[in-house]
Homo-oligomer: A and B are copies of this chain.
């Protein structure tokens, strides 16, 4: 309120130089305990907190990492629920950052002003984690010219560090589960937007599993549902209309699977008895729908955590070789695939 006090005032009040105050604050070394106490006392008395900008300028390190994510409302159909689980990512990022004393700056690229925004943010941070589809390749390239960028996405820009979840492996495991555990032989895949790297990777995993089991392997998803609940419903109706009745349907994400479930219910087709259904992502709703949805959980928090750690490493070692990290995903069997409900109590 009253103008913030400065290091000079603290120095004077505690009878030392600003250099010493600075040393104490960053608890380095080179001062006696007595001095330390005097400085701390003076600082508390004045209600002083070191100016971030000043430190940043002097040390060339803002102590802030940025997290850029796509603004979800703008994109595609205006589904009520956010299709992403950004908060877990944020939480992971926050954790990794604070563990080394950094803070996390977040920004959503409302697709309109993305550019403007991104640059404003880029100036304030030491490095940036960019989530998939939040920025054009061009803009990313421009930003990466001046600060380190880590991609949190399936597909990397050449030259940039990247962390992603093992979408392909997850879809493969999921599909293999249907084949081996539930003995399905006719399985359909419903994809998201055709060019979505996530959708592509998951379909590839689906193919992997079919091939490995020597089953006939389609070249394309049986339908596309745009990764939305209504899209999934639409795709399901489409399949039924075409008389397709596979033993199981592997959906590219949970939203679509959930949309399909309501269509199936309306059509009096029992899940999983008549047809098994699986999703991907393990969104919050997945365990609450009926039947609870078998799905694949992405390690959202870890994704956030690892990408920030990678960024911090990069800041320390600007010239180290580029790294690419893929995190394992986890299959979460629930009832919609035909598995028994897990032992009562805590649901996984």
Contacts and interface: CB of A to CB of B under 8 A. Distances in A.
Contact of A82 (B52, B87, B119): B87
Interface string A65-109: 000000100000000111000110011001100100101111110
Contact of A123 (B52, B91, B106, B113): B52
Contacts of A105: 64, 103-106
B80 A122 contact: no
Interface stretch (A30-38, A183-191, A208-216, A281-289): A281-289
A323 to B, nearest CB: 16
B124 A63 contact: yes
A4 interface: yes
B146 A49 contact: yes
Nearest to A79: B346
A284 B81 contact: yes
A53 B62 CA distance: 7
A1 B64 contact: no
A241 B121 CA distance: 57
A50 to B, nearest CB: 5
Interface of A: 1, 4, 47-57, 62-64, 71, 80-82, 86-87, 90-91, 94-95, 98, 101, 103-108, 110, 113, 117, 119-125, 142, 145-148, 258, 283-285, 287-290, 318, 346-348
A148 B288 CA distance: 42
A120 B318 CA distance: 25
8 contacts: A48-B146, A51-B57, A52-B53, A53-B54, A63-B120, A64-B124, A91-B108, A106-B106
A123 B51 contact: yes
A123 to B, nearest CB: 4
Contacts of A91: 71, 108
Nearest to A57: B53
Given A1-B146, A53-B56, A103-B120, 6 more contacts: A47-B142, A50-B123, A52-B124, A53-B124, A64-B124, A90-B90
A94 B74 CA distance: 14
Given A53-B52, A347-B80, A120 B101 contact: yes
B80 A94 contact: no
A106 to B, nearest CB: 6
Contacts of A106: 90, 94, 103-106
A134 to B, nearest CB: 12
A86 B55 CA distance: 30
Contacts of A148: 1
A117 B179 CA distance: 50
Q: Which 10 A-B pairs have the closest CB atoms?
A: A53-B56, A87-B87, A52-B124, A288-B288, A47-B145, A53-B57, A52-B123, A285-B288, A284-B284, A53-B53
A287 B64 CA distance: 38
A204 B51 CA distance: 43
Contact of A47 (B71, B146, B318): B146
Q: Which of A49, A82, A147 has the most CB of B within 10 A?
A: A49
Nearest to A144: B1
Contacts of A123: 49-52, 55
A296 to B, nearest CB: 16
Nearest to A292: B288
